Amino acid sequence: MSDMRLIVAGAGGRMGRALVKAIAETDGIALAGALEDARSPLIGQDAGTLAGLPANGFALGADAKPLLAKADAIVDFTAPQATVALAALAAEAGKIHIIGTTGLAAGDDAKIKDAARKAIIVKSGNMSLGVNLLAALAKRVAKTLDHDFDIEILEMHHNKKVDAPSGTALLLGRAAAEGRGVDLAQHSVRARDGHTGARRAGDIGFAALRGGSVVGEHSVIFAGPAERIELVHKADDRMIFARGALKAAVWARGQKPGLYSMADVLGLNDV
């Protein structure tokens, strides 16, 4: 089988550069284009050079449509507006779209779901293999423990992150809620300040910390009477997300159009 040809969206950003580097290091995958916002001062620069590699001849551009015609998939860790637009283009071209973008609103998710009628979309709040295993464990533990155990999710990221709770924290929250058989939207507590009163039984709490250059740390805490269980994942390098995204792209090759998750990629849906 020929090399899988991938476009990197947001190729000038932290994750974009990591993806370009990961593609260069992975057999069976080749870079097919590099995208960036049309307003970016990086437009026209070489994607390889930006990623700390030798120049690869792929200059950052802003027009996805002609690139998609010659590619198998687009890998996208950008921003909600850009991701929704790229999903529509992937649907139009019948291509694979790997989405690691966070901060998506319900309306954005609906548009992505609609695009998945014609595109093969793998979407996850975190592409790390370890985090997705953590989510499966959180679901299992939540299902096993009774409501005497309160569930709290703590996350910390670098000081440039613009959304909170993180997409990963929400991924973990949804997994815990599924394990409990409840709707996260109805049981989610995103902030506590002032005189809040006692904790409501059944709530799933979130706390977000921001500072320094932390790539990502997440804990799912099950706090019961006289004992506590903590599931923890710490990311030291963005390359773990890039490698997970490439694994998702390879898995998606040959799949039918639809909306998939990393649980599908890793075979974790039955955990």
SS3 string of the chain?
CCCEEEEEECCCCHHHHHHHHHHHHCCCEEEEEEECCCCCCCCCCEHHHHCCCCCCCCECECCHHHHHCCCCEEEECCCHHHHHHHHHHHHHHCCEEEECCCCCCHHHHHHHHHHCCCCEEEECCCCCHHHHHHHHHHHHHHHHCCCCCEEEEEEEECCCCCCCCCHHHHHHHHHHHHHHCCCHHHHEECCCCCCCCCCCCCCEEEEEEECCCCCEEEEEEEEECCEEEEEEEEECCCHHHHHHHHHHHHHHCCCCCEEECHHHHHCCCCC
Please give the angle made by the CA atoms of 195, 196 and 202, to the nearest 5 degrees. Answer: 165
pLDDT (tens, 9 = 90+) of the chain, 271 residues, equals: 689 999 999 999 999 999 999 999 999 999 999 999 999 999 999 999 999 999 999 999 999 999 999 999 999 999 999 999 999 999 999 999 999 998 899 999 999 999 999 999 999 988 999 999 999 999 999 999 999 999 999 999 999 999 999 999 999 999 999 999 999 999 999 989 999 999 999 999 999 999 999 999 999 999 999 999 999 999 999 999 999 999 999 999 989 999 999 999 999 877 6
- Predicted pLDDT of residue 183: 96
**Residue listed under structure tokens 């690139």:** 67
- Predicted pLDDT of residue 271: 67
Given its phi and psi angles, is residue 10 left (phi above 0), alpha (psi -120 to 50 degrees) or beta?
left
**β partners of residue 216:** 235
Which structure tokens are listed for 149? 């155990």
CA nearest neighbour of 169 among 123, 211, 221: 221
* Catalytic-labelled residue, pool 97, 111, 139, 157: 157
Residue 147: active-site member? no
Residue 233: active-site member? no
Cα 269 from Cα 271, distance rounded (Å)? 6
* Catalytic-labelled residue, pool 113, 118, 143, 161: 161
Cβ contact 129:247 at 8 Å = yes
Cα 265 from Cα 248, distance rounded (Å)? 6
Distances (CA, A) of 145 to 221, 222, 225: 12, 9, 12
Cα 62 from Cα 34, distance rounded (Å)? 8
- Predicted pLDDT of residue 125: 86
Cα 19 from Cα 33, distance rounded (Å)? 12
